[in-house]
Amino acid sequence: MDFDLTEEQILLRDTARDFATREIEPKAAELDRSARWPAEIVARLADLGFLGMAVPAELGGAGLDTVSYVLAMEEVSRACASSGVIMSVNNSLFCDPLVKFGTDQQRRDVLAPAASGKELGAFGLTEPASGSDARTMKTVADRQGDGGFVLNGSKNFITCGPEADHVLVFAVTTPDAARPKHTALIVRRGTPGYSVAPHDEKLGIRAAHSCTIFFDNVRVPAEGVLGGEGDGFSIAMATLDGGRIGIAAQAIGIARAAHEKAVAYARDRKAFGGSVADLQAIQFMIADMATELDAARLLTLRAASMKDRGVRHTAESAIAKLYASEMATRVTHKAIQIHGGYGYTTEYGVERHYRDARITEIYEGTSEIQRLVIAGSVLSA
């Protein structure tokens, strides 16, 4: 594997870093406190082509590769994890399945506006009583004579849900206690029967609004079916393979921000006749943090490069997501420890990174689900 970035990838990374440092990072603490949707940042992400990075240019995207997407995701998430996950959802969970499974009409009418940032998409898989076990999904869609469906049910924890123009909804179309079949439906906001609850109050990523969305006899025309009837589960799993790469990059960005702050604090803080950085206990924590960050980044770049090559990457994406998310929790924990009492206050910002990191072990497949995916790959080899 070639670990060297191309000139184009380096330029993209540096552009993302400059933008994130100048325009996002100064607002991150305020966005966290107020839980304000960062409309101005989302608009700038669109201007830079960061909302449809791997979508071909002729379909409204930037036409870049997954490695470039990972590099940009890390930089944006380092500045503000909320902005990072908004970017991730539109790229990985909405645009990507439309590129892979969409019709020409869907790509023209739905994908192109989302990839250019004129509209936003969301991903509707999780339900109040259905998370990791999709067999318990209650949202149903009944087929009509015209080839469309009538949708009933609800989806919750839908990131970007309050602001999304479209939601990719997965619903049961063939009920069966053991092996139900699901279909993926593109549902436009404002369709009669479509309603949105107030956004969730969360521990972290507070500016990236999520909510419950309700569907009460929502009519979805035939042209709103993504892929074929009954293909929903395979579409969801293929989408999550790529989505987990984005979340791994988000986790790396969060952890990197905490590590950089810990290093700066250790150098400045005086104790026992010198700086805290002179203490071996602190040096060992900083070394462990740097090692884990590097390992997570390499795992994530491997998964991204495999996706770019069109190679199956289910296990590699799960490995990257599992390791990067749990690494982020460990690194942000140590960053607070290095800051001591100050780390527990909002003054230095590391507590925000700690709160933001925790969700990366849960969404787009919990750590336990990643372990099942990885074990299944190992044991079936």
Residues that are catalytic: 364
> Residues 230-255, buried b or exposed e (16+ Cβ, 10 A)?
ebbbebbebbbbbbbbbbbbbbbbbb
From 210, 209, 254, select the one nearest 80 (Cα to Cα): 254
Diameter over CA atoms, the chain = 81
The torsion region of residue 8 among left (phi > 0), alpha (psi -120 to 50) and beta comes to: alpha
The whole-angstrom separation of Cα 170 and Cα 237 is 11
- What amino acid is encoded at 157 in this protein? F
Count of beta carbons in the 10 Å neighbourhood of residue 95: 27
Q: Are 204 and 153 in contact (CB under 8 A)?
A: no
Question: How far, in Å, CA of 185 to CA of 313, rounded?
Answer: 25
189-218 core/surface letters (b: 16 or more CB in 10 A; e: else) = beeeebebeebbebebbbbbbbbbbbbeeb
Burial letters 81-93, b for 16+ CB under 10 A, else e:
bbbbbbbbbbbbb
Number of residues that make up the chain: 381
| DSSP character at residue 359 | G
Query: Could you identify the residue written with the tokens 């071996």?
Result: 280
